[in-house]
Amino acid sequence: RADRSMDRRGALIEAGLAPDRADYILRRESEVRYEAMQAVFEARNAGESVDRFSPNMNPEAILRNEIGDTDYERYLEANGRPTTVGISSVMASSPAEQAGLQSGDEIVGYDGDRVFSSFELMQLTMAGGEGNVVIDVVRDGSPMQIVVPRGPIGVEIGRFRGR
């Protein structure tokens, strides 16, 4: 376990984090996971329902909120996890097709919010509201912005590893 922890610390440092920041992130990662377990335990013992999609029950969301998007991206990279949402296909007649999104595009933002996972993208697109939103996309290494109506955009998510 100590070797794995040192490997993860080294990977965080290699990803651009200062050693003390890497130590802090590893400690907070462990703490927020335990806190989420404890919250589930307490809710179940009290006979309450557990909303696993609540940000308070999501250790990743808590950690991201505490360390910020820049360090969270480094954290994901150091752990070999995607930092973008890859599009494997675009649905016919969808807002994505009409706006010009393509297979292979990588979504990095939705309506000004940084997006790291398909779950986050789904939450944002289903949040409701009216009007248009800007989607930040990387295509063949070049950033671009595409405007679509708020709501489901009509893409299938691929297994891209991100940047």
Q: Report the chain's mean pLDDT, rounded to a whole number.
A: 90
Amino acid 57: pLDDT:
76
Q: Where are the alpha helices (DSSP H) in the chain?
A: 2-14, 19-45, 59-78, 95-99, 118-125
Amino acid 161: pLDDT:
45
- pTM > 0.75: yes or no: yes
Query: What is the token pair recorded at 92?
Result: 């016919």
Q: Are 16 and 83 in contact (CB under 8 A)?
A: no
CA distance 124 to 145: 17
For the stretch 31-65, pLDDT in tens is 999 998 998 899 899 999 888 777 777 899 999 99
For the stretch 101-119, pLDDT in tens is 999 999 999 999 999 999 8
Half-sphere exposure in the Cβ direction for 91 (13 Å, CA): 8
Amino acid 163: pLDDT:
43
Q: What stretch of H or E contains 114?
A: strand 113-114
